[in-house]
Amino acid sequence: VRALWLQDGALRGVSDLPAPDPAPGEALVRVLLCGICRTDLELAKGYAGFTGVPGHELVGQVVAAPSSPDWEGRRVVAEINVSCGSCRDCSAGRRPHCAQRAVLGIRGRPGAFAEYVAVPVANLHVVPDGLADDVAVFTEPAAAALEVQEQVPIGPGERVLVIGDGKLGQLLARTLALTGCELRVGGRHPDKLALLARRGIATSPPDALPERWADVAVECTGNPEGVALALRVLRPRGTLVLKSTYPGLAPVSLSAIVVDEITLVGSRCGPFPRALGLLASRRLDVSDLVSAVHPLAEGERAFAAAASPGQLKVLVRVAGA
């Protein structure tokens, strides 16, 4: 099967690889569409030392599921953590944190920039019929955005700052807007901020944000400067959610966190059913977030496009539905 290969911190082009061989309990999924996220770009620069096929934001169609034939033919999205199911973390309801886990296209398991990918049936969710591929492909990042609301209670009237107007910041802002909170997005890109302003979301350049204003800040830039900015804009005893991938060690003012008794919350994967529901009901609209769609054969070019300034989501089209 054709697949994009990543090795030693760099993409190595699209080549022919042996077809995935699903283990018991797994399905073989024909990939339709797969999105590129910031973590993919970091992997392609060496983050986490991954070697293999990247890609974890997929929508596909089940072509074989020997242990669960009901799934065959269904259009699906897939949760990315493949856990052991029996360790202390799995038993305690923290399966995405299993120490033995593989993660689709990120750690120890091939991902979905490929014609086919093997995925445990337990990780699959059916895509509702009315939901187009290029919307369903946002399920994984939308779920990650919704994880913030699973971790931090956010309701009407609370002052929430999103830092970053990129693809993750857009999803954070749009999902948080549904809570009735007093939302503000700080970003550097007038055209991206305009997409939010058009939806009635307040936006500012980062240096125009008022100090000690926010009850909750969500950092979506992956830049330590975003963390420093959040600490200035948060009120004392406020909550700072880290939502991005940060390479290496970042310089942080721990004393600011102590003196202001800030709570900092790391946030990763989120609830797929909630994301699918919001996308299917169109309460979460992502129609303006796709910057480009490239065929799999242009996988490297797609990554270059995703890394270039001004882009939002870049998708890789592997097959038609």
Write out the residues near a second copy by the rule CB under 8 A.
Answer: 47, 88-89, 94, 97, 99, 151, 212, 224, 227, 235-237, 242-268
DSSP state of 127: P
Q: How far is the CB of 79 from a second copy (least distance, A)?
A: 15
Q: How far is the CB of 242 from a second copy (least distance, A)?
A: 5
Q: Which is nearer to a second copy, 94 or 283 (CB)?
A: 94
Q: Which is nearer to a second copy, 253 or 308 (CB)?
A: 253
Q: Which is nearer to a second copy, 136 or 240 (CB)?
A: 240
Q: Which is nearer to a second copy, 91 or 281 (CB)?
A: 91
Tally of CA atoms within 13 A in the half-sphere of 159 that contains its CB: 13
Q: How far is the first Cα of the chain from the last one, in angstroms, to the nearest whole number?
A: 18
Q: Which is nearer to a second copy, 256 or 319 (CB)?
A: 256
Q: How far is the CB of 221 from a second copy (least distance, A)?
A: 11
**Which SS3 state, helix, strand or coil, does residue 255 take?**
helix
- 247 contacts 42 by C-beta, under 8 angstroms: yes
Q: How far is the CB of 55 from a second copy (least distance, A)?
A: 18
| Closest to 58 measured CA to CA, from 35, 39, 41 | 35
CA quadruple 126, 128, 129, 134: dihedral, nearest 10: -90
- 274 contacts 264 by C-beta, under 8 angstroms: no
Look at phi and psi of residue 190 and say left if phi exceeds 0, alpha if psi is from -120 to 50, else beta.
Answer: alpha
**Which SS3 state, helix, strand or coil, does residue 130 take?**
coil
Q: How far is the CB of 315 from a second copy (least distance, A)?
A: 24
Q: How far is the CB of 250 from a second copy (least distance, A)?
A: 5
Q: Which is nearer to a second copy, 82 or 302 (CB)?
A: 82
